[in-house]
Amino acid sequence: MSIRERMSGNEAVAYAIKQINPDVMPAFPITPSTEIPQMVSTYIANGEMDTEFIPVESEHSSMSATMGASAAGARALTATSSCGLAYMWELLYVAASDRLPLVLALVNRALTGPININCDHSDSMGARDSGWIQIYAENNQEAYDNFIQSFRISEHPDVMLPFMACQDGFITSHAVENIELIEDDKVKAFVGDYNPENYLLNADMPMAIGPYATSPFYMETKMNQRLAMKNAKKVILEVAEEFEKISGRKYGFFEEYKLEDAEIAIVIMGSAAGTTKDAIDALRDKGIKAGLLKIRVFRPFPGEEIAEALKNVKAVAILDRAESFSACGGPVGSEVKAALYDAKVGVTAVNYFYGIGGRDYTVESATSVFEDLMKIADGSMEPEQFKYVGLRK
């Protein structure tokens, strides 16, 4: 029987870490992820887990220590947000190229500047090309469930890539919701033991990790990373299928909400999906065929699958919670539009920005986007790219 609880997103992730009981967790505090290492260290102090907790002097050191532990053969993880992730920047690429199966609990927060501690996706979106798997949660339940699945995906021998488990700062990390936890023994059996084949402390197979790569080798390294990311798509679905058996909850690359017969749709990631669903329910009551595609897996990007899911809508708005200042749009918008183009899907697509720096995204905000889409679909309004939703006049 599942365990019904009330938890914040940070509490849920910390509880998942307790159940997984990894070998090593280095961490440095930064809002709004501070509670995760704080709670884990409390579990350790109370004798509820035997993870080696390493308090370090910076986020750069936190990722360095996590990488060192992983390279030595330990199951390792850390947590951070915003500028903490930025401070880890060079190491994100090293962790991915070294094929280290470690996990980062990222609580999304705007990058400075100007100074801001509220939610947007500028931190993780800036790291989208670093070679990490990225999965996003809509709510506290998903934050917990994604983390339970994270090590299974990251440590799979066909993948061996670092994993970024993302949730929205404050919106899910600090808000308390009802949640269903899985029994400890089931989590332990699901995650399993970590027995790496190759690691630095294996005396029977001396090896180097992160050596200097000259021109004849560097490009092949990147190609191998690409193949691993491609393999991750299959593994993510396999792990999700197994997870459904112990939880009853089904996961994929994305969630479709009333999309099957939708004429207009929004594509979005994270907590704002729930708000968009409320707007869709209200529009459906009025006979308007609105739908949602909520992206869960951003890396590896499921472009072909997204294009297939959107092929029958008349107009779609892709909403980004991070600005990239690109003529092609935001990170999500540019990739979705490219996927639609490659698949020869002729749907009219607009890319909007919302929720940057924690700006409220309400049911009214979502409804205003759908109102634009209705006008675009019937030809009474020309598509306008890169509008800011909820911008003060």
pLDDT tens-place string over residues 344-377: 999 999 999 999 999 999 999 999 999 999 999 9
Q: Which two tokens stand for residue 306?
A: 């997204």
**Helix, strand, or coil (residue 213):** coil
The pLDDT, as a whole number, for residue 208 is 87
Round to whole Å and give the CA distance between 44 and 24: 11
Cα 87 to the chain's mean position, in Å? 19
| DSSP-derived secondary structure for 253-281 | SEEEES-TT-SEEEEEETTHHHHHHHHHH
Terminal-residue alpha carbon distance, the chain: 52
Superfamily of domain 3-247: Thiamin diphosphate (ThDP)-binding fold, Pyr/PP domains (3.40.50.970)
The pLDDT, as a whole number, for residue 324 is 95
Identify whether the C-beta of residue 116 lies closer than 8 Å to the C-beta of residue 358: yes
Round to whole Å and give the CA distance between 342 and 205: 45
Domain ranges of the chain: 3-247, 254-378
| pLDDT tens, position by position, 291-318 | 999 999 999 999 999 999 999 999 999 9
Q: Which two tokens stand for residue 100?
A: 């280290």
| DSSP-derived secondary structure for 153-200 | HHT-TTT---EEEEEETTTTTTSEEEEEEPPHHHHHHHH-----SS-T
What's the mean pLDDT when you consider all of the chain?
Answer: 97
- Residues of the chain with confidence (pLDDT) below 70: 1
The reported pTM is 0.97
Cβ-count burial 247-285 (b if 16+ within 10 Å, e if not): beeebebbbebbbeebbbbbbbbbbbbbbbbebbeebee
The pLDDT, as a whole number, for residue 376 is 98
Give the residue ranges of DSSP H helices in the chain: 9-20, 35-45, 59-71, 82-87, 89-97, 122-126, 140-154, 184-191, 215-247, 272-285, 303-310, 331-342, 363-378
The pLDDT, as a whole number, for residue 194 is 96
Same fold yes or no, 3-247 and 254-378: yes
Q: Does the structural domain 254-378 have CATH classification 3.40.50.920?
A: yes
The pLDDT, as a whole number, for residue 1 is 66
- Within 10 A of 44 (CB to CB), how many other CB atoms are there? 17
